[in-house]
Amino acid sequence: MVNTKSFLLVAFLFTFFNKIVSTAVTYNVVNLGAIADGKTDSTKSFLSAWAAACDSAQAATIYVPPGSYLLGKASFDGGQCKNSAITIRIDGTLLAPSDYSVIGKAGNWLVFEHVNGVSIYGGTLDAQGTGLWACKSSGKSCPTGATTLEFSNSKNIFISGLSSINSQKFHIVINAGQNAQGTTNLWIENIACGPGHGISIGSLGKEMQEDGVQNVTVKTVTFTGTENGVRIKTWGRASNGFVRGVVFQHATMVNVQNPILIDQNYCPGNDNCPGQASGVKISDVAYEDIHGSSATEVAVKFDCSKKNPCSGITLEDVKLTYRNKPAQASCANAGGSSSGLVQPTSCL
């Protein structure tokens, strides 16, 4: 005989827990007024979706359906967020204004500030930067340009399957902001990069009081026609900053100008640092399985601080060529070791 009370209790518990599981909410930007024609400004709709997701006590998803959405400068501030589990799923393309002057002086196009627990999946960010590139090539007076996507003073960020094209300036910047702790525990994997600057840590050490960067992994990356491959760059001036615990692994270089570079004498325009040595301390940086072609004869360059030499630099299984011939390596104030096949011959 069936115990009616037990049956009713099980049914109640099933309904109760099923309701809990289904409490995650989705905010479709189209339902909030966004128009997928690539012409109508949908910035307000995206900000409305963000505000709703931020205010949700449950995990929330912001959904961007297929199509093209025009967005002006948009700041997604998480300072007052109740939610630390926001997913942004993009099945379409986000377009910056075709008139580069609209965001060209703004510093960034899409910025997330003070956010915790944001995941971005899929989609394309098209900053439509070709007009600004043409302006700069002509020698005219042009805006500096906007970074496509920036995270400032944020933590627990996850990005997967996102494409960034036609950036006015940088594609993605992770910035600690002023008076904030430095960048830690950063993982970058499965990236196709080029043309452009490549992947850089820095510039660091512009200010005397500056927290450091540590525990960074960059792996499985292909660089094609970039100015740099994997670079660490610091200002040639006094600073208490540092870089340590960095791994560059499984990288392919295709005609890259500076495949492996540490530059601690960065000082554009000799701005308040002529003759000064970088105070940033660089240590424990590993380069593993880096191969491909360099567009310049010197494929590996460690130009470290004369005051604070680099230490603990390791090279393992590195093979870089220049015009189908062995490339060269250059070291200044750098200490470390090499193992496995290393070409060009290590200068450490």
Residue 20 inside a domain? The answer is no
Q: Looking at the structure, do residues 126 and 231 belong to the same domain, yes or no?
A: no
Beta strand 60-64 pairing with 25-28? parallel
**Mean local confidence (pLDDT), 163-182:** 81
pLDDT for residue 6 is more than 50? no
Q: Looking at the structure, do residues 216 and 83 belong to the same domain, yes or no?
A: no
pLDDT at 274: 72
Q: Looking at the structure, do residues 204 and 227 belong to the same domain, yes or no?
A: yes
Q: Looking at the structure, do residues 134 and 276 belong to the same domain, yes or no?
A: no
pLDDT at 244: 97
Residue 288 near residue 316, CB atoms below 8 Å: yes
Q: Looking at the structure, do residues 36 and 150 belong to the same domain, yes or no?
A: yes
The rounded radius of gyration (Å) of the Cα atoms in the chain is 24
Q: Looking at the structure, do residues 104 and 193 belong to the same domain, yes or no?
A: no
Of 120, 153, 175, the last residue of a domain is 175
Residue 162 inside a domain? The answer is yes
Of 123, 145, 175, the last residue of a domain is 175
Q: Looking at the structure, do residues 148 and 217 belong to the same domain, yes or no?
A: no
Give the residue numbers spanning the domain of 220.
182-348
pLDDT for residue 84 is more than 90? yes
pLDDT at 199: 96
Task: Tell me how far the alpha carbon of residue 220 is from its chain's centroid.
Answer: 15
Name the amino acid, one letter, at 333.
N
Q: Looking at the structure, do residues 186 and 161 belong to the same domain, yes or no?
A: no
Provide the pLDDT confidence category of residue 12 given band limits of 50, 70 and 90.
Answer: very low
Q: Which residues are paired to 325 by β-bridges?
A: 322
Q: Looking at the structure, do residues 221 and 345 belong to the same domain, yes or no?
A: yes
pLDDT above 70 covers a percentage of the chain that reads 92
pLDDT for residue 302 is more than 60? yes
CA distances 120 to 49, 89, 237, Å, are 14, 6, 37
Q: What 3-state class would DSSP assign to 337?
A: strand
Domain count, the chain: 2
Outline where the chain has alpha helix (H).
4-21, 43-55, 101-104, 130-137
What is the residue-averaged pLDDT of the chain? 91
Of 159, 175, 191, the last residue of a domain is 175
DSSP per-residue codes, 235-297:
ESS----EEEEEEEEEEEEEEESEEEEEEEEE-GGG-S-TTPPP--EEEEEEEEEEEEEESSS
pLDDT at 177: 57
Candidate from 4-18, 114-128, 249-263, 275-289 with smallest mean pLDDT? 4-18
Token pair for residue 309?
């030499």
Q: Looking at the structure, do residues 171 and 186 belong to the same domain, yes or no?
A: no
Residue 137 near residue 179, CB atoms below 8 Å: no
Catalytic residues: 197
pLDDT for residue 11 is more than 60? no
Provide the pLDDT confidence category of residue 23 given band limits of 50, 70 and 90.
Answer: low
pLDDT for residue 242 is more than 50? yes
**Mean local confidence (pLDDT), 208-222:** 93
Residue 19 inside a domain? The answer is no
- pLDDT one-digit tens code per residue, 257-297: 999 999 999 998 787 787 789 999 999 999 999 999 999 99
- pLDDT one-digit tens code per residue, 322-343: 999 999 999 999 999 999 999 9
Edge-first strand listing for the sheet containing 93-95? 37-41, 68-70, 93-95, 124-126, 163-165
Assign residue 206 the CATH number of its domain: 2.160.20.10
Q: Which residues are paired to 158 by β-bridges?
A: 119
**Mean local confidence (pLDDT), 199-220:** 92
- Global pTM? 0.81
